[in-house]
Amino acid sequence: MRQNQRASITGIGSYLPNKVLTNYDLEKMVDTSNDWIIQRTGIKERRIVENGVTTSDLATQASLRAMEDAGVSPKDLDMIITSTITPDHIFPSTSCYIQQKIGATRACAFDILAACAGFIYAMSIGQSFINSGAMKTILVVGAECLSKITDYTDRATCVLFGDGAGAVVIQRDPIKHEILSSHLAADGSEADVLIMPGGGARNPASLESVQQRLHYIQFKGKEVFKLAINNITNLILETTRENGLTLNDIDLIIPHQSNLRIIEATMEKLGLPMEKAFVNIDKYGNTSSASVPIAIDEARKEGRLRKGNIVMLVAFGGGLTWGSSVIRW
């Protein structure tokens, strides 16, 4: 039997807040319709946190589930890496709050920012630490409270986003789900097409920045849409080739859930049937960093991941950033 020599996913967990915001709720808030949202995005509803709940709260629940699944205790963790664009605070890191909440006192902890591709960036960092032998057990988290940076007066953006968290534990494990490769890319020349302009060093929080609504997500939807399809398609082809595989070898693609039409167009360009893509955007909308680990967890629960399957994770988002990861389940 083949024995894994490299980092493997040994535990998976996710957590969604209970509160549901439906398209019908949004119809009452902005000039939109359930039909438009479903037709243009595939989204029917999304989850939203209650007041006072933060990203680290969602992340903590997802992390505890992933650790239980892996059979590891908080003291086993060497490192916590969280991907988020909605940290509890700009600093300290959300990973440090998670460390405190789960009691992972031995773990070093930091956040990374690569927007919707961030979970794949974070997992590839963890994978490198495991593969090098420097660390044994790493928690990788993708968690967001996008409702906190969504402008609920802007119909072009507010229908898209939701809150949630997902986490994986990675370790060297002879039989579990080996990470075969990770591929990362970025194009900073398009940095401004998907942005939250306020709150950083360029536009620090001020009365004006709030009045100008700079503390919300802004984007050029059509541009991002086209760039997403082209870059994801090319990345899937490149990743497949570099692993010595063909598209037929891929059993399931787990894409970032930003728009059903982006997923459909990508699958069509690749000549792959939609059955080979995992989709749950109808329930949660776009949860940025959290979407891929939530989808992995749900795909597994639905029995879509079988031993030996070749699974491709792929995501695209602000930065622009994109990335993929191939896993032998």
Chain positions contacting ligand UT7, by CB under 6 A: 32, 36, 40-41, 116, 155-156, 159, 221-222, 224-225, 228, 258-259, 262, 286, 317
Q: Note whether 91 and 84 are within 8 A (CB).
A: no
Provide the minimum distance between the beta carbon of 86 and ligand UT7 in the complex, in angstroms, as a whole number.
13
Q: Note whether 13 and 178 are within 8 A (CB).
A: no
Nearer to ligand UT7, 156 or 237 (CB): 156
Give the three-state DSSP class for 8.
strand
Provide the minimum distance between the beta carbon of 260 and ligand UT7 in the complex, in angstroms, as a whole number.
9
The residue with its CB nearest to ligand UT7 is: 221
Provide the minimum distance between the beta carbon of 326 and ligand UT7 in the complex, in angstroms, as a whole number.
21
Q: Note whether 127 and 180 are within 8 A (CB).
A: no
Q: What is the DSSP letter of 125?
A: H
φ, ψ for residue 26, nearest 5 deg: -65, -30
Nearer to ligand UT7, 74 or 319 (CB): 319
Distance CA 79, CA 106 (A): 8
Provide the minimum distance between the beta carbon of 88 and ligand UT7 in the complex, in angstroms, as a whole number.
21
Q: Which of these is catalytic: 231, 259, 280, 286?
A: 286
Nearer to ligand UT7, 38 or 64 (CB): 38
Q: 201-226: b or e for each residue (b if 16 or more CB lie within 10 Å)?
A: eeeeeeeebeeeebbbbbbeeeebbe
Please confirm, yes or no, whether 89 is among the known catalytic residues: no
- Which H or E element spans position 296? helix 291-301
Provide the minimum distance between the beta carbon of 203 and ligand UT7 in the complex, in angstroms, as a whole number.
21
Nearer to ligand UT7, 234 or 248 (CB): 234
Please confirm, yes or no, whether 108 is among the known catalytic residues: no
Q: Note whether 158 and 57 are within 8 A (CB).
A: no
Q: Which of these is catalytic: 231, 256, 259, 280?
A: 256
Distance CA 62, CA 76 (A): 17
Q: Which of these is catalytic: 116, 158, 183, 231?
A: 116
How far from each other are the two terminal CA atoms of the chain, in whole angstroms?
14
Nearer to ligand UT7, 32 or 131 (CB): 32
Provide the minimum distance between the beta carbon of 167 and ligand UT7 in the complex, in angstroms, as a whole number.
20
Nearer to ligand UT7, 110 or 225 (CB): 225
Sign of CA dihedral 160, 199, 90, 186: positive
- Which H or E element spans position 239? helix 221-242
Please confirm, yes or no, whether 23 is among the known catalytic residues: no
Task: Write out the catalytic residue numbers.
Answer: 116, 256, 286
